[in-house]
Chains A and B, each alone.
Chain A
């Protein structure tokens, strides 16, 4: 029969909009407005999984985020699989496909025969703890079972087809939870003109009022809520976020709120819409109006499907018009529990018994239940449940010694649903995310937010459960925080409510160790006797008890179980709950999809890409690209049929025999100006800048205060107080910040200004014996060697465009770096290509650039150096101005004891005995191949290439004492057992006299 538990009227569902969904391949019908859980209950489908450890059947317990059992897998296709979905929070939609996850091997197959055993051995309490602690081989045995059985769901094997996004939000007040307290708080602040965001995790705002039969201002409570919501949505300073869970409270009132925008509509978000939106809210004040989760009582076999928390029963009846059974047995330790029985009775069901663990209840709800003729047993508790796959009845017993003992005489009572209320646990999670432990309030029998947590709070989260107190508390809290007026509190009848009883575990006549299993944490199958065992084994701290038993370690983070667990541990240790303390809560409050975290920062948008002005030409001419930081640089330009090796050999030869052209636009460029600029250069570079004339360039080494090289580059003197500094492509941002650091913090007396101009200029470098001939064709400037010397720069028109030409060389050839304003870059590049046609000008990429510079022994900072190499280690003492008057950065550092000792690793060239063998970069060097393993390693290869111009392999590396070992051999043991011998030599392999670059 379809929807046999659905009531004929009532509820907030739309009976005119039926919705079909599947669970475990079977089709069911629900209504729009249903959650998956309410629709399943309506259909009598209350088997949602098997428990992990004991394989016991489990059913729906709760109606919200606190649900521990109904954790399902969603998704109609592989790509749209979503694990870890709480059926109690998932709205049904047409075509929803769901499956159980904790049902190995199947939810129907009764595992009782092997329940709680693995390989015939009982899984004891502390199972995880013991398996992880010792011995390792035990874990190997169990792992395959655990992997199969544990875990709630699986990740999709295909890419998530949905889009997610993020939004930054600012407000004066973020209210979390739109129940009576949240509505009142938001309205108070909004009326005072404050910017307010009201976020609520449910589809409908109203919180507890959605399933309340109380009156506000003489109307049903929801009518009041709806009018407040109408007011709020009409106000420009208010943002309402339904289906939005505040998942984390972070520093300085930063709150992450995950809004589920389309999860209620379809398997996949409708085109153009995002699945989730992560609101990154920076709030002036954050107010928790999160209410409280009702705690179930702990009793024997309390995990049978049909056992629920009392408030959830009311919610299913009121909101979803589902009464999940015919005969209810209820046990409560407070007045509020009665409500479920009253609702059940009014919905046409039978209530077989209410057990109140208190002796003398007198409250209004008790009176109401009594007036309805329901059988009430005071001083009694439910101690056991009868049934195997579902509830058939309960066993009740009279309690003694203030509820610490159950009398031996028991009575069986018929029931197919059991509801319990052990009291309420305020939803304090967010208040504890920054480390402020919640405080036990014995009056309300719950942990409330620590007053130092920095958040405002009102209502259930404070342990206030009566509407009048909730509404007035909320408006007063906002008024005090914002120094505004509270708003009028609507009229609510005052009810007489008796004090609750601190009852957590209902004692069993046989004692806890002999009792049927009394579950505390459903997800992890933690029982009351397990917690007691942990205490007996000496685990005192609640954090240790948690880890030993796995209490609260599930995806529900123990929302229903933590306080019961703490209370049982406290009792076992003879301590108070306040002294035992609660465990920490950490973000996220409920699981968050990875998609929501990454938002749009995926695929193409994962990281910005930087292109030079010449990119279209590179692309059109078949360049292969290499990532250098965020830059996409041409790596090599293969011709048809060429391998990378072929292309690089051709390009490298072309540069040395005719002319090549390189896009060097990505080099960092920093404009340095001011009366203090020259002195500043003197201080941040190791070499001297006092005498560099306008029109000249100089290569400089930049070190840290430790004396180690971290960047290098050529700087040109543009004017007496004006320099253009170049940095490595990857180091530009770091160098820029470094310069600012020194100018601002140490030498504010030097007047100097920096500007990063990397993107202002495009740089075409032409290099080779015919470079000058090409340049002559595009400029009127006299570029003869006589008038334009090596390390000079000149302003000139190039291809009709104003530019700067720098005669500097990273190839060792006659070379010109032509800088033009970036938007002319492509034009000038094309002009040079055209002009170079007759010389077969060859575009080359970074790989050839590396080969050419290595042939010349030019270093690359960050490749041939690693932060432990100073200029003398590089044999570049010539670039250190030890006589400069100011103690430049790095000078003192490179004179430290360790920096001046013998036998430091020094940069040298390496020539393999076999000229065809190209060493691997990073290969470790040894001096003595006969040494015992592990061999003393004496250095490593930093750069290594095949050099087409030397017709052999070339390499550089750092070797201990290398500069004093010229001509000696080092050895490189290979993976395959071979040992490669190489000779230590000068790193300059090509044109050692430098005739070509000067010519």
Chain B
């Protein structure tokens, strides 16, 4: 069970308080009506599945209800950082 630092509550809380919401930094296309089916399909369904560092979105569902991002190692489950919406990671390939 993970121990997750909520960047809004500013403390570590148990994983049971959170929901995982999948890959982070998936931006909605600015003009959906002018995307191709392929582009829209990529946005809808295609996600990374890295062995190693991964940026994920989580929500403190049973806490402050804020969404935030996590840089987590998918093998060791180590969480290297958590950061607020709109911020960028400092760890990992996309940092």
Partners in one complex: yes
Report chain A residues within 8 Å CB of B14: 168, 282
Residue contact B85 to A892, C-beta cutoff 8 Å = no
Choose from B1, B32, B59 the contact partner of A254 (Cβ within 8 Å): B1
* Cα–Cα distance between A897 and B3 once the two chains are bound (Å): 43
Residue contact B86 to A737, C-beta cutoff 8 Å = no
**A804 within 8 A of partner (CB):** no
Residue contact A740 to B28, C-beta cutoff 8 Å = no
Choose from B19, B32, B41, B57 the contact partner of A891 (Cβ within 8 Å): B32
**A252 within 8 A of partner (CB):** yes
A751 to chain B, nearest CB (A): 15
Task: Answer whether A896 and B67 are a contact pair too, CB < 8 Å, given A253-B3, A745-B57, A746-B28.
Answer: no
* Cα–Cα distance between A737 and B65 once the two chains are bound (Å): 8
**B35 within 8 A of partner (CB):** yes
* Cα–Cα distance between A891 and B21 once the two chains are bound (Å): 22
**B44 within 8 A of partner (CB):** yes
* Cα–Cα distance between A892 and B30 once the two chains are bound (Å): 12
* Cα–Cα distance between A93 and B16 once the two chains are bound (Å): 39
Residue contact A252 to B1, C-beta cutoff 8 Å = yes
Residue contact B65 to A896, C-beta cutoff 8 Å = no
Find residues 1-58 in chain B having any chain A CB closer than 8 Å to their own CB: 1-3, 14, 19, 21, 28, 31-33, 35, 37, 40-41, 43-44, 57
A740-776 Cβ-contact flags toward B at 8 Å (1 or 0)? 1100111010000000000000000000000000000
Residue contact A748 to B85, C-beta cutoff 8 Å = yes
Report chain A residues within 8 Å CB of B80: none
Task: Answer whether A744 and B3 are a contact pair too, CB < 8 Å, given A706-B44, A891-B33, A897-B37.
Answer: no
A342 to chain B, nearest CB (A): 46
Report chain A residues within 8 Å CB of B65: 740
**A705 within 8 A of partner (CB):** yes
B90 to chain A, nearest CB (A): 20
* Cα–Cα distance between A705 and B77 once the two chains are bound (Å): 30
Residue contact A250 to B32, C-beta cutoff 8 Å = no
**A443 within 8 A of partner (CB):** no
**A830 within 8 A of partner (CB):** no
* Cα–Cα distance between A282 and B12 once the two chains are bound (Å): 11
* Cα–Cα distance between A741 and B24 once the two chains are bound (Å): 12
**A887 within 8 A of partner (CB):** yes
* Cα–Cα distance between A891 and B29 once the two chains are bound (Å): 13
* Cα–Cα distance between A706 and B19 once the two chains are bound (Å): 21
Task: Answer whether A893 and B40 are a contact pair too, CB < 8 Å, given A251-B1, A254-B1, A887-B31.
Answer: yes
* Cα–Cα distance between A745 and B2 once the two chains are bound (Å): 23
Find residues 830-844 in chain A having any chain B CB closer than 8 Å to their own CB: none
Residue contact A744 to B85, C-beta cutoff 8 Å = yes
Least CB separation from A886: chain B residue: B32
B60-89 Cβ-contact flags toward A at 8 Å (1 or 0)? 010001110000000111010000011000
* Cα–Cα distance between A892 and B35 once the two chains are bound (Å): 8
Residue contact A251 to B77, C-beta cutoff 8 Å = yes
Residue contact A892 to B33, C-beta cutoff 8 Å = yes
Residue contact A252 to B32, C-beta cutoff 8 Å = no
Find residues 884-927 in chain A having any chain B CB closer than 8 Å to their own CB: 887, 891-893, 896-897
A545 to chain B, nearest CB (A): 26
A661 to chain B, nearest CB (A): 35
* Cα–Cα distance between A252 and B40 once the two chains are bound (Å): 37
Report chain A residues within 8 Å CB of B1: 250-252, 254
Residue contact B59 to A737, C-beta cutoff 8 Å = yes
B15 to chain A, nearest CB (A): 8
* Cα–Cα distance between A434 and B40 once the two chains are bound (Å): 38
Residue contact A892 to B32, C-beta cutoff 8 Å = yes
Report chain A residues within 8 Å CB of B32: 887, 891-892
Residue contact A741 to B44, C-beta cutoff 8 Å = no
Which applies to chain A's interface (DSSP): helix, strand, loop or mixed?
mixed
Least CB separation from A890: chain B residue: B32
Task: Answer whether A741 and B59 are a contact pair too, CB < 8 Å, given A705-B44, A893-B40.
Answer: yes
* Cα–Cα distance between A891 and B79 once the two chains are bound (Å): 36
Least CB separation from A252: chain B residue: B3
A759 to chain B, nearest CB (A): 16
Residue contact B35 to A252, C-beta cutoff 8 Å = no
Report chain B residues within 8 Å CB of A896: 37, 40-41
Task: Answer whether A740 and B67 are a contact pair too, CB < 8 Å, given A748-B85, A887-B32.
Answer: yes
* Cα–Cα distance between A435 and B15 once the two chains are bound (Å): 20
Least CB separation from B61: chain A residue: A737
Report chain A residues within 8 Å CB of B41: 896
Least CB separation from B14: chain A residue: A282
Report chain A residues within 8 Å CB of B59: 737, 740-741
Least CB separation from B79: chain A residue: A252
Report chain B residues within 8 Å CB of A168: 14
Report chain B residues within 8 Å CB of A435: 75
B83 to chain A, nearest CB (A): 13
Task: Answer whether A252 and B85 are a contact pair too, CB < 8 Å, given A745-B57, A745-B67, A892-B33.
Answer: no
Choose from A705, A745, A893, A897 the contact partner of B85 (Cβ within 8 Å): A745
Task: Answer whether A254 and B37 are a contact pair too, CB < 8 Å, given A737-B59, A741-B59, A744-B85.
Answer: no
Choose from A253, A741, A891 the contact partner of B67 (Cβ within 8 Å): A741
A906 to chain B, nearest CB (A): 21
Residue contact B3 to A892, C-beta cutoff 8 Å = no
* Cα–Cα distance between A737 and B85 once the two chains are bound (Å): 15
* Cα–Cα distance between A811 and B67 once the two chains are bound (Å): 39
Least CB separation from A705: chain B residue: B44
Report chain A residues within 8 Å CB of B75: 435
Residue contact B61 to A254, C-beta cutoff 8 Å = no
Report chain A residues within 8 Å CB of B19: 737
Report chain B residues within 8 Å CB of A705: 28, 43-44
Report chain B residues within 8 Å CB of A897: 37
* Cα–Cα distance between A891 and B40 once the two chains are bound (Å): 11
* Cα–Cα distance between A741 and B75 once the two chains are bound (Å): 27
* Cα–Cα distance between A706 and B41 once the two chains are bound (Å): 9
A221 to chain B, nearest CB (A): 38
B62 to chain A, nearest CB (A): 11
Residue contact A251 to B33, C-beta cutoff 8 Å = no
Choose from B3, B44, B86 the contact partner of A748 (Cβ within 8 Å): B86
Least CB separation from B31: chain A residue: A887
Report chain B residues within 8 Å CB of A250: 1
* Cα–Cα distance between A896 and B67 once the two chains are bound (Å): 29
Task: Answer whether A282 and B40 are a contact pair too, CB < 8 Å, given A737-B61, A744-B66, A892-B35.
Answer: no
Report chain B residues within 8 Å CB of A892: 32-33, 35, 40
B82 to chain A, nearest CB (A): 13
Residue contact B2 to A251, C-beta cutoff 8 Å = yes
Residue contact B2 to A252, C-beta cutoff 8 Å = yes
A684 to chain B, nearest CB (A): 13
A494 to chain B, nearest CB (A): 40
Least CB separation from B84: chain A residue: A744
* Cα–Cα distance between A741 and B43 once the two chains are bound (Å): 16
* Cα–Cα distance between A748 and B19 once the two chains are bound (Å): 20
A250-273 Cβ-contact flags toward B at 8 Å (1 or 0)? 111110000000000000000000
* Cα–Cα distance between A579 and B20 once the two chains are bound (Å): 39
Residue contact A254 to B3, C-beta cutoff 8 Å = yes
Find residues 207-250 in chain A having any chain B CB closer than 8 Å to their own CB: 250
A862-896 Cβ-contact flags toward B at 8 Å (1 or 0)? 00000000000000000000000001000111001
A93 to chain B, nearest CB (A): 34
B41 to chain A, nearest CB (A): 8
Report chain B residues within 8 Å CB of A887: 31-33
* Cα–Cα distance between A217 and B85 once the two chains are bound (Å): 59
* Cα–Cα distance between A158 and B85 once the two chains are bound (Å): 52
**What are 21 pairs between A and B in contact, CB < 8 Å?**
A168-B14, A253-B3, A254-B3, A435-B75, A705-B28, A705-B43, A740-B59, A740-B65, A740-B67, A741-B67, A744-B67, A744-B85, A887-B31, A887-B33, A891-B33, A892-B33, A892-B35, A893-B40, A893-B44, A896-B37, A896-B40
3 smallest beta-carbon distances between A and B, as pairs = A252-B3, A892-B32, A887-B32
Residues in A lying within 8 Å of B, measured CB to CB: 168, 250-254, 282, 434-435, 705-706, 737, 740-741, 744-746, 748, 887, 891-893, 896-897
**Given A741-B67, A896-B41, 13 more contacts at CB 8 Å?**
A251-B77, A252-B1, A252-B77, A253-B3, A282-B3, A705-B28, A740-B65, A744-B85, A748-B86, A887-B32, A892-B35, A892-B40, A896-B37
